Structure formats: structure tokens, C-alpha cells
Amino acid sequence: MKYLFFSWLAVFVGSWIIYVQYSTYTELCRGKDCKKIICDKYKTGVIDGPACNSLCVTETLYFGKCLSTKPNNQMYLGIWDNLPGVVKCQMEQALHLDFGTELEPRKEIVLFDKPTRGTTVQKFKEMVYSLFKAKLGDQGNLSELVNLILTVADGDKDGQVSLGEAKSAWALLQLNEFLLMVILQDKEHTPKLMGFCGDLYVMESVEYTSLYGISLPWVIELFIPSGFRRSMDQLFTPSWPRKAKIAIGLLEFVEDVFHGPYGNFLMCDTSAKNLGYNDKYDLKMVDMRKIVPETNLKELIKDRHCKSDLDCVYGTDCRTSCDQSTMKCTSEVIQPNLAKACQLLKDYLLRGAPSEIREELEKQLYSCIALKVTANQMEMEHSLILNNLKTLLWKKISYTNDS
């Protein structure tokens, strides 16, 4: 009788856990809702884009495995005309950066309300220029970026940007990831944009969607302790020369966003789940939604009220300090992108590192992690440490088959 009771208890608890997790899954994965919103707008002529017909008419663009981590940021593996891709869709517009509590009261949002009918191309260019100036600062070459955006917005390549295409482009430009994809479209480690419809966009797929670990069904994930899961993740990594090649890719991406052609971008969530790699072990970014323009972040955080430094954090990694005399956040981010990347790579690279370079590698990684934005000659140190790390890794793997 005792065994029967515990058996039923185990079944009840297990069923309850599965039900709770399934409910969470259905809340996170709202691809059908996203498709309906987008296609309703497309069929009524509000929006347009190169992915619209495939998504809403021929249905040759469809959603596969759900990768969403937040209900309002939908992310799926997908197929578009037999080509694999990653589909991303916003369930609400992103007006501003999310600091846990809002920077200002959220206003009622009318989706795809700009630009309005009658807006000329010149006026639309001025709108985009003003948006870029607010996000990126007063860069000298913003006009070039505006022209690049108009080229991308012209989805059917007819030499004109329709009102529907302009509405889609304007909605997408509110998203930092989309803007960064356009700016870094020729860079190796940035996924290529395949198409868009409204604020839904499709980017090239990545074979491995996390820096390490294996993908398990969510039912199994429930019963694996987090500590054991971390240990297991470290076991399921490529060989060390391949890890070194992936790490070099991350260091190169840090270079791409550090004082790039349109200013500096800050990596505010440097975690393994946001990085992937292809079958050649070249790093590819999987999720860049928490990579934000430095000018934009500084402007938004500088007057934020705070009680301690804990109130001055965006994402998980972009931290400023709380000025106790004014009880407001300062604008200067404490840790540069390179230090955050090295923190992520430390255990990844040191595990299984060849004995002849392990000591030097560890020394360089800790020097990198110690970098601070406020340090004297930070930019020179940044360049020196980054180049030394890349050189050390390349020298070790240059003549190996795995590289």
C-alpha cells in the first residue's frame, strides 16, 4: 500500500511539472499568433516585404522548432523555399530598452503607423536619418547608412520603396538586431538577412545554436539538475583546435562592433546561448537583440533613478554605477565587450588546452577579463590583448586538420 501511494504521488508530481512546463511553452511559443498578425496586415495592404507572399499566400515559409525565450520575442527555426533559416517576430513594438522596469510609462502602440500615406521618399529618408542620429549619435556617414536602408527596404528590387515596404522597414529599424545586421552585413560572423515582412524577419540558419552543450527535449531538461547540466555541456564541445577557431571568431566579432563604421555597439548579454557556429566551426551570432548602440544606451540610462549599482544594469552584462550624490545612474559602462567575451571563453578554452600554451593562455584571458572602460589607455590595451590572444590561438591551430 505504501509503494502504491508513493507511485501515485510520483505520477501526480511528474504530471503537474509537465503541465506547468507545457503551459510555459505554449505561452513562449506563439508563432501562430505572430503569423496571423503579420498576414492580416499584409492582406489589407498595410505592410509589404520579400517574405510576405511566401508566409501568407504560398505558405512556403513556415515555422519549425521554437527557440523563444520571451513571449514578445518569437524565435523559430524555419524553412523558406527549402532553405533553412531562423524566423524572428515581435509580438509588440520595442519602444525603448527594457531595464526591468520601464524608463517611461508604456504608451498605446499602433502597429505599423509610420510613415503615413502621402509621405515622400525624401521625408522618409529624413525620418530614418533622425532615428539614426538618436540611436547612433552624430556620425559623419549617416547618409550612407540611410541609403543602405532604402536599398534593403526595396524588397522587390523595383527601384522604388512602396508605403508597405517603408512601414515594414520603419518597424524593423526600431530593433537593434536588424540595424546591426544591416550595418555588419558584409562581416563573416553576422548572420545574413534573408527577408522580412512587417517586423518579422528571416536570417540565415546556424547549424549549432549554442556555443556548447547538446539540445535535449524540454521534458528531459526538467529532471536534470543545473549543476550537472553545466558539467554535461562542457563535455559536449568540439575538439580544442575547433574551440579555438570558434573563439577567434568571437574575438573578431568584438572587433567588428568596437568602434565600427557607425559607432560602438555594446554586448549586453554575452552568454553561450546567443552564439553558434557552422559546420566549418566559424562563429555565427544567433541572437543579437541585446547588442545595443552605445550612444543610445548612454542617453537612456544616464538619468535613471537608482539606489545602488544593481539598478543600473541592462541585459545581464551592461553595467554602470549609481551616483549616490544624485541617486542617478552614470552613463559610462564599466566593462568593455572584450572583457565579457573573455569571461565567457575562459572555461571554454582552458578545458583541454594544450599544456605548452595553457599557462600563457590563462594569463592572457585573466588580463583580458580585468579590462575596464575607465582605465587609462583602454583602447590601446584592448587592441593589444585582443591581438595577442588571436595570435596565440592561431599559432597553435594553424597547422592542424581540425582548424
What is the residue range of 252's domain? Answer: 218-398
Contact 47, 41 (CB under 8 A): yes
Clarify whether residues 74 and 199 are in a common domain: yes
Helices (H) and strands (E) in the chain, counts: 14, 13
Clarify whether residues 82 and 137 are in a common domain: yes
What is the CATH classification number for the domain harbouring 343?
1.10.510
Clarify whether residues 157 and 115 are in a common domain: yes
209 within domain boundaries:
no
How confident is the model over 274-279, as a mean pLDDT? 92
Clarify whether residues 333 and 368 are in a common domain: yes
Which pLDDT band holds residue 224 (cuts at 50, 70, 90)?
low
**Would you call 160 exposed, middle or buried from its count of C-beta atoms within 10 A (0-12, 13-18, 19+)?**
exposed
Clarify whether residues 360 and 228 are in a common domain: yes
Domain boundary residue, one of 177, 204, 231: 204
How confident is the model over 35-62, as a mean pLDDT? 95
Domain boundary residue, one of 151, 170, 204: 204
Q: Three-class SS of residue 41?
A: helix
* Domains of the chain: total: 2
Clarify whether residues 147 and 200 are in a common domain: yes
Clarify whether residues 43 and 188 are in a common domain: yes
20 within domain boundaries:
no
Clarify whether residues 188 and 230 are in a common domain: no
Clarify whether residues 227 and 187 are in a common domain: no
How confident is the model over 276-282, as a mean pLDDT? 92
380 within domain boundaries:
yes
Predicted local distance difference test score (pLDDT) of residue 230: 63
9 within domain boundaries:
no
Which pLDDT band holds residue 188 (cuts at 50, 70, 90)?
very high
Residue carrying C-alpha cell 540595424: 179
170 within domain boundaries:
yes
Domain boundary residue, one of 179, 204, 229: 204
| Model pLDDT for residues 248-267, shown as the tens digit of each residue | 999 999 999 987 888 899 99
Calpha distance 99→290 (Å, rounded): 11
Clarify whether residues 186 and 256 are in a common domain: no
Predicted local distance difference test score (pLDDT) of residue 140: 77
DSSP 335: S
15 within domain boundaries:
no
Which pLDDT band holds residue 270 (cuts at 50, 70, 90)?
very high
Instruction: Give the range among 7-11, 14-18, 156-160, 274-278 with minimum mean pLDDT.
Output: 14-18
Phi, psi angle pair for 317, to nearest 5°: -125, -10
| Model pLDDT for residues 125-145, shown as the tens digit of each residue | 999 999 999 999 888 789 999
Predicted local distance difference test score (pLDDT) of residue 25: 44
| Model pLDDT for residues 356-383, shown as the tens digit of each residue | 999 999 999 999 999 988 766 778 888 9
Q: Is 276 left (phi over 0), alpha (psi -120 to 50) or beta?
A: beta
pLDDT tops 50 at residue 103: no
Clarify whether residues 180 and 246 are in a common domain: no
Clarify whether residues 259 and 328 are in a common domain: yes
CA distances from 268 to 79, 290, 320 (A): 29, 5, 12
304 within domain boundaries:
yes
22 within domain boundaries:
no
Instruction: Give the range among 169-173, 219-223, 357-361 with minimum mean pLDDT.
Output: 219-223
Which pLDDT band holds residue 241 (cuts at 50, 70, 90)?
very high
